Amino acid sequence: MRKQFLLILITALGSFYSFAQNNKPVYDSALAKKLGADDYGMKQYVMAFLKAGPNKNIDSAGRTQLIQKHLKNIGRLAKEGKLVVAGPFLDKGDLAGIFIFNVTTIEEARALTATDPVVKAGLFEIELHPWYGSAALMQVTNVHPTLQKKSITD
C-alpha cells in the first residue's frame, strides 16, 4: 500500500512538473516595452494611502457629493493612464483607501492627488511612497471595464 502511494505521488509530481515546464509563459518583449516593464516584469509606481483628513465637519449630503466627485476624478485619472489601481479599505479604519499611480516621483503623485475633491476639502489626507510592482498592473484599466456590469460613477 505504501509503495502504491509513493508511486502515485511520484507520478503526480512528475506530471505536474512536466505540465509546468510545458506551459511556461512566453516572454512578450513588445508587451513588456509597452507596459514599461524592466527585465523582471516590474516597474516603479507611487502608492498613495488615503487617510482620514482634518475636516470632520462635512455633513452626510456634502460627503456623498464629495465622494461622487472623487470617483469621477479617479475615472479621469485612470483614462489618462496616470492611475492604475484605486480602491477603499473595507475595515472602516483611519486608512480609507489606496491609489497606485503610474508615475515615478512623489512630486508627480502629489500634483495628481491635489486634483482630488476629497483631498481639497480635507476629508482625506494623502501619504505617498515609491513602490515597485508588476508592470502587469498597467492592464487593470483595460480589463476592469469588461468585468463591471454597472459603473460606480453613474
Taking the chain (154 residues) in runs of 10, the rounded mean pLDDT of each run is 50 52 83 96 98 92 94 95 96 93 97 96 96 96 91 80
- 32-146 maps to which CATH number? 3.30.70.1060
Cα distance between residue 46 and residue 109, in whole Å: 7
For the chain, the domains span 2-26, 32-146
Q: Which residues contact 47 (CB under 8 A, 6 or more apart)?
A: 98, 99, 100, 101, 128, 129, 130, 131
The CA distance from 79 to 42, in Å, is 21
3 state DSSP class of 145: helix
pLDDT score, position 7: 46
d(CA 62, CA 103): 31
Residue 23: what pLDDT? 74
